[in-house]
Amino acid sequence: MSTGSAGRPTRLLFDARYIRTDFHDGISRFSAELARAVQDAAVQDAASGAGLDVVFLIHDEAQRASLPEGARTLTIHAPTSWREPFTALILNRHRPDAVFSPMQTIGSLGRRFRLILTLHDTIYYRHRTPPRDLPAAVRFGWRLFHLSYLPQRLVLNRADVVATVSETSRRQFAAVRLTKRPVVVIANAPQDLAELLPAGRRGRIAARPCRLDRHPPSHPSRHRRGRRRGRPHARRSRRGTSSTWAPSCRTRTSRRSCAGWPACPSTRCTC
């Protein structure tokens, strides 16, 4: 990790204001898990002699509970505050080298630091209903914002780098020319669920990791014919279970019969 100005460690402000204090939604989980990874990287850099100084932005003291142990925080306004368009002017006082936000709406007016914004997907251009927990004025602005790609282009082009969560999203951005900035993927990933399983099954899951196959059976019509003829391997799953293709063995299996369930709730698990 390179050092910041005047030979000091690189100072990164991580926007953790989207972490919920009741339960995680998608962006809250993304923020909390990425915050843990960034803090771990900072500790490793310090041990190797490199410099990374990470400070997490919060607006509620209760958000500390979802941050890594020993994390340093800076309390500012909520992301729905009227002050949000002027956030960069507030952060300039703390002399960051870079600011990362898990959303794209943080104010950048007059910034004197590198800025990484995140856009997760383009779903709100197809389904414009905003989250119901937002204030009425914010929900109204949300709808107006997504009537055209132009506001989003203006917002994303303010950044130095744009992050997203999948290659699919990156392709969607490119298809509609959503930004001129480099787009990097910080992929969503499943949480380690092994610790939530009964103790007797943890070793079994670890010894037999879930294998995922992205390709469906080469001849699914054969399976449909087999089901009509009553072949045992092609029977419908019982009510209440979901069945999935298992490409490695070319059979149709129930998720609940999979040794990796629920640690690998894939639609194509081949455990």
- Mean pLDDT value across residues 128-133: 83
Q: Which domains does the chain have, with CATH numbers?
A: 5-185 (3.40.50.2000), 194-257 (no CATH)
Q: Give me the pLDDT at residue 134, please.
A: 83
pLDDT in tens, 151-210: 999 999 999 999 999 999 999 999 999 999 999 999 886 666 666 777 766 555 454 444
pLDDT reading at 120 higher than 60: yes
Can you give the pLDDT at residue 78? 94
Any bridge partners for residue 114, and if so which? 98
Beta carbons of 264 and 255 less than 8 angstroms apart: no
Q: Helix/strand/coil (H, E, C) string of the chain?
A: CCECHHHCEEEEEEECCCCCCCCCCHHHHHHHHHHHHHHHHHHHHHHCCCCEEEEEEECCHHHHHHCCCCCEEEECCCCCCCCHHHHHHHHHCCCCCEEECCCCCCCCCCCCCEEEEECCCCHHHCCCCCCCCCCHHHHHHHHHHCCCCHHHHHHHCCCCEEEECCHHHHHHHHHCCCCCCCEEECCCCCCCCHHHCCHHHHHHHHHCCCCECCCCCCCHHHHHHHHHCCCHHHCCCCCCCCEEEECCCCEEEEHHHCCCCCCCCCCCECC
Give the pLDDT of residue 268: 44
Tokens of 252: 């149709």
Please work out, in degrees rounded to the nearest 5, the angle formed at the alpha carbon of residue 100 by the alpha carbons of 12 and 44.
Answer: 45
Per-residue model confidence (pLDDT) at position 243: 38
Find, among 90, 94, 67, the residue nearest to 79 by Cα: 90
pLDDT band of 10, cuts 50, 70, 90: confident
β-strand partners of 72: 55
- The region of weakest confidence among 72-76, 128-132, 248-252 is 248-252
Amino acid letter, residue 181:
R
Nearest to 122 by CA among 173, 159, 184, 183: 173
Mean pLDDT of 222-242: 44
Confidence (pLDDT) at 198: 74
Instruction: Enter the pTM of the model.
Output: 0.68
Asked if the model's pLDDT at residue 252 lies above 90, the reply is: no
